[in-house]
Chains A and B, each alone.
Chain A
């Protein structure tokens, strides 16, 4: 086994932080270099620490650390461009993305392209783009990065291309199938929605609500029985 090695000024976002000992933090970051990882930030909870305001979610960072098998040690952090403060519903959306990354990626499993997808999603939420399309596109790219990419151009088990005017049943890990016998698993979705999701241009209310149901179904299959904590932040939606 190689010993600890140093990583310098690597693009990162903080996903979560929790207190550690008297004045330190353990921050969970999503990094370009090694995906998700836990870092001890010594003294970061002292009132005068410059890290205090910096090690927050949605702040693009360049982070240096000493890499170890379990927890690394943070040795420095600086802002990488302007802070992207999220407020209100967009903040709930951002926290939801963070929870997905916490739950569905493994520590030390690099996904540099997913970090850029995440950055784009946060920018979209910050810029007031419609939240639902931003969340769906990120969910789609996350599933693809962790090896559960959706089949969105042809029917599962065939090379028949999808047609916008047809209805399909989407079966997890198989793809969309048209008509045929009623399956216990899967979720009904129109060809138009699948094609819009493929091209990342979800627009109509039907497409948005179908895509949401589809993604929710697929994510729940991967997340298991423990529900997402951030769902509770969407208070008005959950009551509708």
Chain B
């Protein structure tokens, strides 16, 4: 390893990426410096721009570079269906694999009372306001099958029932403790079409 504080800093910075340990971070840093400086420059500029310009959609909380994301701005979707998921990755998985044409709401997490993560951290006031618009006929709960995902689903279901909105839950073809991002497309499509009434 060449003796350079800047290279060390680069290796350290790369380790913020998931799955990147010290060895792979070092390999990436040397690759960029030895063989692909242009690619490295592009990566750096794009990273900075993305971090600055991408925020959360005002309506669904998904990642977006506009106040309203492209899915929320898409008027051809069915306003009667709203699907609640934990992560932006879940939106991609369902939109790609489940033949779903309604709108989404992204919690960016799940209720975790023992960690102090409560309804206020998941934008549930925004969701409640959305349900009060009276457009949603079916609220589809697609939170994970972990204990916390289920507690989250239960909490939202009670909220929706107070507002007389019909609630369904995707079928649990998803393994216990599994999260949607890791579920393959046929399983997900099956879980989605097999959703059942809740409450």
Residues A53 and B118 in contact, CB atoms below 8 Å apart: no
* Given A91-B154, A235-B155: A229 touches B114 (CB 8 Å cut-off): yes
Residues of chain B within 8 A (CB-CB) of A231 are 113
Residues on B with beta carbons closer than 8 Å to the beta carbon of A57: 147
Q: Does any Cβ of A come within 8 Å of B119's Cβ?
A: yes
Q: What is the chain B residue whose CB lies nearest that of A239? A: B162
What 6 A-B pairs have minimum CB-CB distances, sorted nearest first?
A229-B113, A53-B177, A53-B176, A230-B113, A47-B182, A52-B177
| Distance, CA A92 to CA B18, complexed state (A) | 32
Residue A22, interface by CB 8 Å: yes
A39-98 residues at the B interface, CB under 8 angstroms: 47, 52-58, 83, 87-89, 91-92, 95, 98
Chain B, range 1-38, C-beta contacts under 8 Å to A? 18-19, 21
- Using A102-B114, A230-B113 as known contacts, say yes or no to A53 and B155 having CB atoms under 8 A apart: no
Q: Is A160 an interface residue (CB 8 A)?
A: no
The smallest beta-carbon distance between B177 and chain A, in angstroms, is 4
Determine whether A198 belongs to the interface, using a CB cutoff of 8 Å to chain B.
no
* In the complex with contacts A57-B147, A95-B114, A233-B178 CB distance below 8 A: no
Instruction: Give residues 145-166 of B contacting A (CB, 8 Å).
Output: 146-147, 150-151, 154-155, 158-159, 162
The answer to the question of B116 belonging to the interface, with a C-beta cut-off of 8 Å to chain A, is: yes
- Please name all residues of chain A whose beta carbon is closer than 8 Å to the beta carbon of B178 when the two chains form the complex: 47, 52-53
Query: Is the beta-carbon distance between A232 and B113 smaller than 8 angstroms?
Result: yes
Question: What separation, in Å, do the CA atoms of A116 and B150 have in the docked complex?
Answer: 25
Contact among B19, B118, B158 for A236, CB-based, below 8 A:
B158
- 11 additional A-B pairs beyond A16-B114, A95-B147, A229-B115, beta carbons within 8 Å, are A47-B178, A53-B176, A53-B177, A87-B150, A91-B150, A92-B151, A99-B113, A228-B113, A230-B113, A232-B113, A233-B151
Task: Give the contacts of B173-198 with A (CB-CB under 8 A).
Answer: 175-178, 182
Q: Which of B111, B116, B177 has the most CB of A within 10 A?
A: B177
Can you name the residue of chain A whose Cβ is closest to the Cβ of B156?
Answer: A235
CB nearest neighbor in B for A46: B182
Say whether A18 faces chain B, with CB atoms less than 8 Å apart: yes
Contact, CB under 8 Å: A233 / B155? yes
Query: Given that A22-B19, A22-B21, A236-B158 are contacting pairs, would A91 and B151 also be in contact in the complex, using a CB cutoff of 8 Å?
Result: yes
